[in-house]
Amino acid sequence: MIEADVAQLIKSIDDFAAAVNFKPAQIEKFGNAPDLSSSCRLWTSPYAEMLAVWSDLSELDIRKNVQMGRDWLDAQCIRRERDTGNVVDAYLIVVLDEEPHKSLHEIVRSTELDPVACRKHFVWPSKPEDDGFRWSRIFKITAIGLPPSPASSGMTNTPKLQDPAQIELLDDIKNLKPANAARQHAEQLRAISKL
């Protein structure tokens, strides 16, 4: 994988993670947590930890790196939960140099579906889209994959009603509790229908 691709991935995760209150963090060595490679990256938030590990395109290396990342995240979350008393979620991102061969699709799928200790996601570069973005699977990472919410446009205007009965109902809803207004208008409709 070329350095520019890695830089783009890290920048993209930084940007999307910042939108949901994750910040890049130093990976610490502590207690029974496994030693992580210097290529690993960590983002942390008040509610979760997100760790990226790199893996070769072999089932053995994928399993080894998933286990290592999962064990580190598990130890880190337990440590934070003891310190804060709050539940801390964990997300593991397994970065591959290229799209895995079909023979590895089952291991990718079963790993992503495995609920033990943390959510697991795989990313790999793909053909660039029109905007040059090469990491389309980044949007599958549940902690950061949601698009940004549009800005609120404020209150909507009150509908312009023409029918006198609708205007009266809206006025009653404003002045009475909605249930009382509905009950009152239902009684009026029943009385009219009996005529």
Which one, of 157, 39, 28, lies nearest residue 97 by Cα? 39
Question: Which pLDDT belongs to residue 56?
Answer: 94
Under 8 Å CB-to-CB from 189, ≥6 apart: which residues? none
State the chain's mean pLDDT as an integer: 85
Report phi then psi at 70, rounded to 5: -65, -45
Give the model confidence (pLDDT) of 109-151 as tens digits.
999 999 888 999 999 988 766 555 678 788 889 888 765 655 6
- The Cβ of residue 17 has, within 10 Å, a number of other Cβ atoms equal to 21
Selected residue with higher pLDDT from 6 and 182: 6
Residue 80 has pLDDT above 90, yes or no: yes
* Burial per residue of 48-82, b for 16 or more beta-carbon CB atoms within 10 angstroms, e otherwise: bbbbbbbbeeeeeebeebbebbbbbbbbbbebbee
Instruction: Taking residues 169-184, report their average pLDDT.
Output: 74
Distance in angstroms (rounded) separating the CA atoms of residues 103 and 38: 29
Alpha-carbon dihedral angle through residues 134, 7, 64, 89, given to the nearest 10 degrees: -90
Question: Which pLDDT belongs to residue 131?
Answer: 57
pTM listed for this prediction? 0.73
Both structure tokens of 176: 């009475």
Instruction: Taking residues 187-193, report their average pLDDT.
Output: 73
